[in-house]
Structure 1
Amino acid sequence: MAINTLIFDLDDTLLDFRGGEVQDIRALFEKHAKLSGQALEKALLTYQDINQKLWHQYEEKTIDRTEIFEKRFPETLAALDLADQVDAQLMEEEYAFLRDHNYRMIDGAKDLLQSLSGRYTILAGTNGQEETQLRRLKETRLMPYFDQVFTSESLGIAKPDARFFEKIFAARPKMQKEQTIMIGDGLNSDILGGQNAGIETIWVNLQKQPLPADLKPTKIVHSLNELKTLLQ
């Protein structure tokens, strides 16, 4: 059966979350911890490692989502021996504002969606926060290209759990697994999630990462232009 429905991840697939994160985390540590140079880069890498670990634990259902936001700055500051000098809660609050107003896009995102609009049903399926993702889609003017947006917050379950996708299919009864592709950059969320749900997947590997042996995306692309060509 021909593919007629595309489920897109958002962060680092269409929206440039990583670019905004790097800029914002550097700015926060410059402001609150007065770091610069190598110390600033160490702080950025430490935060990214801890944040990624916590998100992975959330995807594995070993912690609640709220624990990510409660723990990532305290753990980062502790690892940097800055816990007694910097207010972790204030950093989280300021970062939440900066994150919510990160309107960067991956190169080619709007052109890709324009080329697919009217030819496919286009859905968003993201582990991000509902209010944040809706605002970012609105501000980047990508919202009109989506038929519906699904977030882990609204569904009550996160990728890679197959129930994330089951709830999407339940909300759109005309969708068929054989006609649906999950598209995203996250191996342990998008690709594993698609496999768990029994649908085809396209890995958007912009960073040209190695592919683990246990994950088998249907297709791999290294740019949104390549994805555009594939889907056309």
Structure 2
Amino acid sequence: MKLIFIDIDNTLLDFDKYTEESLKKGFKRFSLPEFEPYMLDVFHQENDKLWRKIEEGTLHIDGLKHVRFQRVFEALHIKPSFDPTLFEAYYRSQLFESAIPVDGAYKMLDYLSKKYILAVASNGPYEQQIHRLSLAKMDRYFTYFFISEKIGYSKPSPFFFLKAFGEINANRTDIILPKDACIIGDSLTSDMKGGFNAGMHTCFFNKKKVDTPPDRIDFAISDLSKISDVL
């Protein structure tokens, strides 16, 4: 193994924790009904549906901001007195400054960076993701940054990884092949499927301990600090 791709949201940085905090603040700021725990579940359900469309190539990431909170408010039976895109703008502004590390992330990066070339592999806005990694002081561990907005494709598209390997091997004499690489991530549909289809090894961060398809996953961990057990 020579190269490790690592996802950002809910692998390195805690997207779920950020979302809960920002929704609570946002509901107060916009004078919406009192935030309740079930509302977080509804957000994730609607958000996940939209990200599946992005992964499938049927929704562009720029389109997300126009429909996400419209869908969320409809599912919650909330009729805001403002354009939902205003809440989206607030949510994104909060996310831009969010860098809550997942437990064990720094220990994992310290370990992996001493053994392998590390590359970010993330679906999301380029400037936002780079800024958040910088805030968390995680950017220093990585040689390459592959983010869907800039690369032009979203995981699990094979073109995402084709472009990534093309850039990595552009000035190398010792070509790195997919069989020499592994992807670490929390998503079965983008990280594991994308890595499997690209011919790479896959390491599933199974924080939520869900059932996993054995044919697509080479390794699984539920604690990032235990990465040395498998890599």
The equivalent of 1:182 in structure 2 is 183
1:86/1:48 CA distance change after superposition, 3 Å = farther
The CA distance in 1 between the partners of 2:212 and 2:114, in whole Å, is 32
Which of 106, 113, 129 is the matching residue for 1:117?
Answer: 113
Question: What displacement does 1:222 show?
Answer: 0.8
Per the TM alignment, residue 20 of structure 1 is displaced from its structure 2 partner at its CA by: 0.6
- What percentage of residue pairs aligned between the two structures are identical? 29
Aligned residues: 226
Per-residue Cα deviation, 1:9-33 (whole angstroms, up to 9, x for no partner): 1111111111111111122123324
- Residue type matched to 1:167 in 2? K
For 1:183-222, list aligned pairs within 5 A.
Answer: 183-212=184-213, 216-222=216-222
Number of the residue aligned with 1:23:
21
1:85 matched residue in structure 2: 81
Secondary structure of the 1:172 match is helix
How much has 1:112 moved relative to structure 2? 1.4
Task: Please list the CA deviations of residues 23-76 of structure 1 after superposition, one character each: whole Å capped at 9, or x if unmatched.
Answer: 11122123324322xx62233222221111001011011122122111011112
**Who is 2:226 aligned against?**
226
- The 1-side partners of 2:135 and 2:168 are apart by 26
Aligned equivalent of 2:172: none
Q: CA deviation at 1:168?
A: 0.5
1:194–1:152 distance in 2 versus 1, CA, 3 Å: same
Q: What one-letter code is carried by the residue in structure 2 that aligns with 1:202?
A: C
Q: Which amino acid aligns with 1:34?
A: L
User: Is the aligned partner of 1:171 residue 2:172?
Assistant: no
Residue 145 in structure 1 maps to residue 146 in structure 2: no
Q: Is the 8 A contact 1:33 1:85 kept in 2?
A: no
Q: Give yes or no for contact 1:14–1:109 (8 Å, CA) kept in 2.
A: yes
With 75-84 and 222-231 compared, the bigger mean Cα shift is at 75-84
Q: Give the Cα separation in 2 of the matches to 1:84 and 1:106.
A: 33
RMSD: 1.5
Amino acid across the alignment from 2:23: I
Structure 1 stretches of 4+ with a deviation exceeding 3 A read: none
Deviation of residue 100 (structure 1)? 0.7
Aligned to 1:10: 8
Which piece of structure 1 moves more, 63-72 or 141-150? 63-72
- Cα 1:124–1:35 change in 2 (3 A) is same
**Corresponding residue to 1:35 among 33, 36, 45:** 33
The residue type paired with residue 28 of structure 2 is E
- TM-score, normalization: structure 1? 0.92
Unaligned runs of 5+ in 2: 170-174
Q: Which amino acid aligns with 1:216?
A: R
Provide the residue aligned with 1:157 in structure 2. 153
| CA–CA separation in structure 1 for the residues paired with 2:41 and 2:91 | 16
User: Per the alignment, in what secondary structure is the counterpart of residue 211 of structure 1?
Assistant: coil
Does the CA contact (< 8 Å) of 2:65 and 2:85 recur in 1?
A: no
